[in-house]
Amino acid sequence: MKQIPSINKSGPQPQKLAALRQAHRDWNESPDVLTRLTRRLSTTLSLETQLAILAEEIASVVPYDCLTYRHTIASREFVYVTGKGGPHSCDYRLNLEGSFYGTLSFSRRQKFTEQELEGIELMLAAAICPVRNACQFIAIEQASLTDCLTGVPNKRALDDALSRASCLGDRHGEEYSLILCDLDHFKQVNDQYGHVVGDHMLKLAAAELEKAVRNSDSVYRFGGEEFAILLAHTDEVNAREVGDRIREFISTIVVDCGDTNVTVTASCGVAMRLADETADQWLARADEALYRAKAHGRNCTRVFAAISN
């Protein structure tokens, strides 16, 4: 039987503690650019902040006029640019352990020397792990805000967006409108044709909603067969027009189930945000408008008017 080495219960030797303290001081106080770069990058998971740090530290070693970073994270384009470009550039693909983490480009008026390119590459090698971590953090954060079935933002993302819109509305007087859209008699689709058909219809509905609105508008899956659409710089008159257009787009959905084609209609409730109104109050008024649309026979749009109901 092998004997297990005894553990020294007296604690670390004083020399080791002293060496550890010295290493800590060196890490925090070292003027070495690579040590400073990795130390600063380790303080944040914000990719934008990391790129600002990287831009500053590289500029202290290799002058440049413009830095551009591009990457697609969780199906969304991330772009960071600082400065203005020049005719000469160097481009890098950031790869680590077989995975891609974006492209980084530097440009300026004068050609980069071989020594300067080597310096940039050494600094990128030190930065790639923190950049990887920041990209993964964004992907995880986006996953927590995305409906896994339809691919549009979920209720949690909607809550955050309504809070931001409320703050901007109070601060700058910007107009926002909210539409709640519910697929009519959707339970019957699930009961008669099954959840596979129902899920397919929800995916198609999300796609049609995104076609029906502007790029500046946002579509969310509010829950079940209900969606929410946040419209920026839109009053209730224009929001109602969007609601009617949404219903037209939804009505074009056709799912082939063999012996029959399954179609669906939608009801929409519209509410323009009022001054000093909380996100919950705003959402409740849109929900009340949706209830009225359903009470009036469905497949229609109703507005919770700001002055008269």
Q: What is the mean pLDDT of residues 61-82?
A: 94
Q: Among 308, 161, 304, 132, which residue's Cα sits nearest to residue 229?
A: 161
Q: Domain boundary residue among 90, 121, 144?
A: 144
Collapsing DSSP to helix, strand or coil, 272 comes out as strand
- Residue 88: φ, ψ to 5°: -105, 135
Q: Which CATH number is 81's domain given?
A: 3.30.450.40
48 labelled catalytic: no
9 within a domain of the structure (yes/no): no
Position 1 scores a pLDDT of: 54
62 within a domain of the structure (yes/no): yes
- Do 45 and 123 lie in a common domain? yes
- Do 223 and 107 lie in a common domain? no
- Do 71 and 185 lie in a common domain? no
116 within a domain of the structure (yes/no): yes
- Do 264 and 126 lie in a common domain? no
Position 305 scores a pLDDT of: 79
- Do 298 and 190 lie in a common domain? yes
Q: Domain boundary residue among 98, 122, 144?
A: 144
Q: What is the mean pLDDT of the chain?
A: 92
- Do 201 and 228 lie in a common domain? yes
H or E element, residue 84:
none
Token output for 127: 């930065």
The answer to which of 8-12, 22-26, 118-122 has the lowest mean pLDDT is: 8-12
How many angstroms separate the CA atoms of 146 and 153, rounded?
4
Answer yes or no: is pLDDT of 158 > 50.
yes
| pLDDT > 90: percent of the chain | 82
How many angstroms separate the CA atoms of 47 and 54, rounded?
10
150 within a domain of the structure (yes/no): no
Q: What is the CA 84 to chain-centroid distance, rounded? A: 27
- Do 138 and 172 lie in a common domain? no
Q: How confident is the model at residue 11 (pLDDT cuts 50, 70, 90)?
A: low
Answer yes or no: is pLDDT of 139 > 90.
yes
Answer yes or no: is pLDDT of 5 > 70.
no
Residue labelled with tokens 């995305």: 146
pTM, full prediction? 0.74
Of the residues 57, 208, 225, 277, only one is catalytic, namely 225
Q: Position 235: which residue type?
A: D
How many angstroms separate the CA atoms of 195 and 189, rounded?
8
4 within a domain of the structure (yes/no): no
Q: Among 258, 273, 276, 218, which residue's Cα sits nearest to residue 242?
A: 218
3 within a domain of the structure (yes/no): no
Collapsing DSSP to helix, strand or coil, 160 comes out as helix
- Do 140 and 163 lie in a common domain? no
Q: Position 191: which residue type?
A: D
- Do 161 and 284 lie in a common domain? yes
Q: Domain boundary residue among 88, 121, 144?
A: 144
- Do 74 and 42 lie in a common domain? yes
308 within a domain of the structure (yes/no): no
Name the domain count of the chain.
2
Which residues constitute the domain of residue 117? Answer: 14-144
What's the pLDDT tens digit per position in 248-268? 999 999 999 888 999 999 999
Q: Cβ(48)–Cβ(54) under 8 Å? A: no
Listing DSSP states for 88-143 in one string gives: EEEEEEEEETTEEEEEEEEEESSPPPHHHHHHHHHHHHHHHHHHHHHHHHHHHHHH
Answer yes or no: is pLDDT of 308 > 50.
no
Residue labelled with tokens 């109104």: 277
Position 309 scores a pLDDT of: 39
Residues 6 or more apart in contact with residue 163 via CB below 8 angstroms: 279
- Do 71 and 201 lie in a common domain? no
User: C-alpha angle with apex 72: 71 to 76, nearest 5 degrees?
Assistant: 130
The answer to which of 74-78, 133-137, 245-249, 279-283 has the lowest mean pLDDT is: 74-78
Q: Which CATH number is 290's domain given?
A: 3.30.70.270
How many angstroms separate the CA atoms of 309 and 303, rounded?
8
- Do 190 and 87 lie in a common domain? no
Token output for 46: 């914000």
7 within a domain of the structure (yes/no): no
Q: What is the mean pLDDT of residues 139-164?
A: 94
- Residue 225: φ, ψ to 5°: -100, 20
Q: What is the mean pLDDT of residues 188-194?
A: 93
Position 29 scores a pLDDT of: 76
